[in-house]
């Protein structure tokens, strides 16, 4: 569903040509892997990229884990995939977790570079009080307690989980509203200001995704909201927003994350993934870092020259990246 909406709505909006590569068992027809790719023109280069358009925090093929050892051992697979990629100039994929790097060997010989940012996740365990004592420093616990006390003096503070399509619409509408106010005040760019991206989130939320939303209310009025995706026992924290206009100094974002973690623990989940970006607040929740990588490889003669420059010189790498910047 996620990929369907990406291709259906965002590909045309961003002038990206879909390039979906499927790998099947020749005898049974069993689907072993899908590479959801697109081709985008970067000046005169035709660049093969992952179909994430800045929305997905992690890029990886969709694979059958049981089929991967045989696929990775089959030297004919990369050659056949390369044949499908050949009309283009360059492969460039960002935001790859270290454990996903081997899967990209199926694209043929690629170079990998560790990116200057990491992903952050915190391991959860029961009970919440024990996790809080282990994961959050004493000074940060006192800070959160002070902020929560300040809010509760002003009324009834509640946080509720949302698991239905209609509820998700309310969550996303409030996230967009809060972020619009905040990003306008700071002058920063927010992806939700583009209607195509906002529509994408609204539509996928309306379907039966493995997702969960959260609403924080004070005296029945929504003051913060968050949206996340579930994968097994891991919640990926995707979007959030809070009433910056009226509660600028209340640390609503931190309090909401703490309450989400408490809910995840109560549900028996094992990881809260705060995803990519090295914002300081993430370290306040006992997170561990995961290195992120990009990969690239030349396909045409000029693409191979660009790949060579990417791998040899920091200055030329920055110049070449202008062709593949998001």
Cβ burial, residue 79 (10 Å; 0-12/13-18/19+): exposed
The CA R_g of the chain, rounded to the nearest whole Å, is 22
Please state the rounded mean pLDDT for residues 262-281: 96
Alpha-carbon span 70 to 61, nearest angstrom: 16
Band (pLDDT 50/70/90 cuts) for residue 316 is: very low
- The highest-confidence range among 22-36, 210-224, 297-311, by mean pLDDT, is 210-224
Q: What is the mean pLDDT of residues 283-312?
A: 90
What are the residue boundaries of the structural domains of the chain, listed by start?
2-118+291-323, 125-269
Are 216 and 222 contacting, i.e. CB atoms less than 8 angstroms apart? yes
Cα 299 off chain centre by: 27
Please write the tens of the pLDDT for every residue from 86-124.
889 999 999 999 999 999 999 999 999 899 999 999 999
Task: Tell the CATH topology of 125-269.
Answer: Aminopeptidase (3.40.630)
Q: What is the largest CA-CA distance in the chain?
A: 67
Question: Is it the case that residue 33 has pLDDT exceeding 60?
Answer: yes
Residue 39 contacts residue 52 (beta carbons within 8 Å)? no
For residue 314, with 0-12 CB atoms within 10 Å meaning exposed, 13-18 middle and 19 or more buried, which class applies? exposed
Candidates 322, 314, 316; CA nearest to 116 is 314
Q: What's 191's DSSP letter?
A: G
- Reduced to 3 states (helix: H, G, I; strand: E, B; else coil), residue 25 is coil
Alpha-carbon torsion, ordered 37, 163, 141, 121, to 10 deg: -20
**pLDDT given at position 319:** 43
How high is the mean pLDDT of the chain? 90
Specify the pLDDT at position 323. 42
3-class DSSP state for residue 33?
Answer: strand
Tell me which of 3.40.630, 3.10.450, 3.10.620, 1.10.3210 is the CATH number of domain 2-118+291-323: 3.40.630
DSSP structure class, residue 308 = H
Q: What is the pLDDT of residues 193-226, one digit of tens each?
A: 888 888 888 888 777 678 899 999 999 999 999 9
Phi, psi of 99 (to 5 degrees): -70, -15
By DSSP bridging, strand 234-242 and strand 271-276 are: parallel
Helices 252-266, 138-152: axis angle to 10 degrees equals 100
- Rounded CA separation 270/30 (Å): 31
pLDDT tens per residue across span 59-90: 999 999 898 898 899 999 999 999 999 889 99
In the chain, pLDDT over 70 holds for what percent of residues?
93
**Residues 231, 224: Cα–Cα separation, whole Å:** 24
Return the C-alpha torsion angle 266, 267, 269, 271, nearest 10: -50
Judge if 2-118+291-323 and 125-269 fold alike in CATH terms: yes
Chain CA centroid to CA 107, Å: 22
Question: Which helix (H) or strand (E) covers residue 297, if one does?
Answer: strand 288-298
The pLDDT of 158-180, averaged and rounded, is: 90
At 185 the pLDDT is 63
Q: What are phi and psi of 302, to 5 degrees?
A: -70, -30
pTM: 0.89
- CA–CA distance, 120 with 137 (Å, rounded to integer): 17
Mapping DSSP to helix (H, G, I), strand (E, B) and coil, where does residue 284 land? helix
What pairing do the DSSP bridges indicate for beta strands 211-218 and 221-231? antiparallel
Burial status of residue 286 (CB atoms within 10 A of its CB: 0-12, 13-18, 19 or more): buried
């Amino acid at each position: 569903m996620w990929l369907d909406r990406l291709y259906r709505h965002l590909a045309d909006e961003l002038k990206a040509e879909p390039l979906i590569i499927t790998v099947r068992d020749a005898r049974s027809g069993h689907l072993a892997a899908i590479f959801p790719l697109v081709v985008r023109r970067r000046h005169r280069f035709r660049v093969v990229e992952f179909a994430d358009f800045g929305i997905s925090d992690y890029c990886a093929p969709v694979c059958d884990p049981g089929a991967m050892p045989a696929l990775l051992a089959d030297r004919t697979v990369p050659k056949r995939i390369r044949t499908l990629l050949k009309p283009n100039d360059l492969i460039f994929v960002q935001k790859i977790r270290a454990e996903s790097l081997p899967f990209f060997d199926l694209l043929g010989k690629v170079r990998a570079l560790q990116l200057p940012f990491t992903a952050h996740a915190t391991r959860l365990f029961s009970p919440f009080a024990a996790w809080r004592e282990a994961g959050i420093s004493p000074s940060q616990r006192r800070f959160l307690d002070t902020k929560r006390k300040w809010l509760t003096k002003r009324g009834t503070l509640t946080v509720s989980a949302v698991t239905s399509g209609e509820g998700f619409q309310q969550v996303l509408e409030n996230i967009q509203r809060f972020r619009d106010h905040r990003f306008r005040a700071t002058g920063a760019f927010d992806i939700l200001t583009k209607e195509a991206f906002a529509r994408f989130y609204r539509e996928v939320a309306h379907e039966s995704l493995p997702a969960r939303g959260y609403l924080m209310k004070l005296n029945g009025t929504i003051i913060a909201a968050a949206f996340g995706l579930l994968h097994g026992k891991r919640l990926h924290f995707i979007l959030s927003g809070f009433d910056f206009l009226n509660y600028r100094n209340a640390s609503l974002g931190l309090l909401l994350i703490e309450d989400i973690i408490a809910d995840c623990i109560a549900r028996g989940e094992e990881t809260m993934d705060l995803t990519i970006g090295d914002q300081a607040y993430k370290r306040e929740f006992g997170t561990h870092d995961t290195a992120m990588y990009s990969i690239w490889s030349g396909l045409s003669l000029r693409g191979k020259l660009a790949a060579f420059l990417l791998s040899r010189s920091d200055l030329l790498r920055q110049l070449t990246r202008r062709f593949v910047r998001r």
